[in-house]
Structure 1
Amino acid sequence: MVGERMKISIVVPALNEARVIRATLEPLQALRARGHELILVDGGSRDETSRLAEPLVDRLLHTEAGRARQMNAGARAAAGELLWFVHADTRIPADADDLLLRAVRTRPAGRAWGRFDVRLSGAHPLLRVVERSMNLRSRLSGIATGDQGLFVDAALFRESGGFPELPLMEDIEFSRRLKRYGRPLCLRQTLLTSSRRWEDQGVARTILRMWALRLGYFLGIPAQRLAAHYGP
């Protein structure tokens, strides 16, 4: 515990994120100063990600590439009672730790999990449709995605088996597991996540691809096959 407060371990999986990693980690320094733990898990970056991150984290781990594998490694190394998984291109609210701790106190001990609403960084009007649909779909379905900053009690993470080590859709499958223990806490405060994939590959085209991949997964197509169509 941090005094009387639950300790949060923030796990950031990264791969070749030198361009954005400092901007992600710097706002998290305030949480470190309040006694929380920051872990970066590098999946084999060939750029300066690890060098830039090292002075800004409590632990720097190295694994093979694979977001699920990286997040599981970070969770195993974590000392906190609450795990929070933050993508390497995401910006957090300044009071994120207070928001998390207030939320988890509304659930039985060791049984809390949930996510934030998400806002995309770009100005394209279709991105407003994307973020609203993501947040509404998640609220209705009880399924959280990685962009939404999934958080979970460490004990529940271990009990549920952690992230399935899939090349794609690991967040959706993990949410399905967690729903057996209760519905997610859906925080309306937003994380700001990069819209670079949509902008680099075309907003409309990326929306259609994401919908098709999700539909394929729900129809039972293996994540390994879908990953070939996900893009870089």
Structure 2
Amino acid sequence: MISVVIPTLNARDALPETLACLWDANADGLVREVIVTDGGSADETLAVADAAGCQIVAGGPGRGSQLGRGAEAARGEWLLFLHADTVLSPEWEGEVGAFCARDEAAGAFRLAFARKGIAPRLVAAGANLRTRTLGLPYGDQGLLISRARYERIGGFAPLPLFEDVDIARRIVADGGRGALRLLASRAVTSPARYEQAGYVRRVLRNQWCLLAYLRGVPTETIAARYA
């Protein structure tokens, strides 16, 4: 039923745990296939994906382009886009199975970080509030969407960043704010980027970039500053 699409770039260390959370759903028939869409990894990412039985799609870097290539190769009625450093909480299979059976909406998971502390909890709470009120999740929350809706809105754009915001805005434009729902299951993601930059600095930089994007600043310009 579901094709899971995972963009990778030198994700050898994180990918096994992400794939492990999908195994039961694969055995139960909910997950039809797992597609690893690689952007030119120089480590053993592809060996890990191949050993796990994933379908591999290779091409140039850029998450928007990678996600688009993965979706083109997918055969499922539903698509689940998931980052390579994100692990779904154990109850996700039951919730997603029920969601797909009854719902035409798209969904994103409740964000959590794989780290204890006030800062990770506050950042995650802010992301979940943004998703609930604005229908605007980021990619590390995953995206569950029917193939029909995905194709109707034009799929992922080949953007260097904010491909997640771009598609979320088109989902909402297509079906209203209720068309993108916050699921109860958690997407537990790595806090490495926040810890390297500092949580406050990273949040402020993310917000600056988002506001620039919403004002129409070209994504290539933002990417140069973002990097």
- For the criterion TM > 0.5, the same-fold answer is yes
Taking the aligned partners of 1:188 and 1:96, their CA distance within structure 2 comes to: 8
Stretches (4+) displaced over 3 A: none
Per mean C-alpha deviation after superposition, the further-off stretch among 132-141 and 26-35 is: 26-35
Secondary structure of 1:229 counterpart: helix
Partner of 1:31: 25
Letter in 2 for 1:68: G
Secondary structure of 1:199 counterpart: helix
- 1:203 corresponds, among 199, 205, 212, to 199
Taking the aligned partners of 1:77 and 1:60, their CA distance within structure 2 comes to: 9
Partner of 2:4: 10
- 1:121 corresponds, among 105, 114, 117, to 114
| Structure 1 stretches lacking a partner, 5+ long | 1-6
Report the TM-score when normalising by structure 2: 0.93
- 2:70 corresponds, among 67, 70, 74, to 74
Equivalent pairs counted in the alignment come to 222
Taking the aligned partners of 2:6 and 2:94, their CA distance within structure 1 comes to: 19
Report the TM-score when normalising by structure 1: 0.91
Does the Cα contact within 8 Å between 1:12 and 1:87 map onto a contact in 2?
A: yes
Superposition pairs for residues 176-191 of structure 1, below 5 Å? 176-182=169-175, 183-191=179-187
Taking the aligned partners of 1:146 and 1:45, their CA distance within structure 2 comes to: 20
Q: Percent identical across equivalent pairs?
A: 36
Is 2:79 the counterpart of 1:93? no
Does the Cα contact within 8 Å between 2:91 and 2:185 map onto a contact in 1?
A: no
Taking the aligned partners of 1:127 and 1:229, their CA distance within structure 2 comes to: 24
Superposition pairs for residues 211-222 of structure 1, below 5 Å? 211-222=207-218
Cα distance, 1:143 vs. partner? Answer: 1.5
Secondary structure of 2:208 counterpart: helix
Per mean C-alpha deviation after superposition, the further-off stretch among 27-36 and 155-164 is: 27-36
Partner of 1:54: 50
Residues 80-108 of structure 1: per-residue CA shift (max 9 Å, x gap): 1000001000011223232112123343x
Relative distance call for 1:94 and 1:123 in structure 2 (3 A) is closer
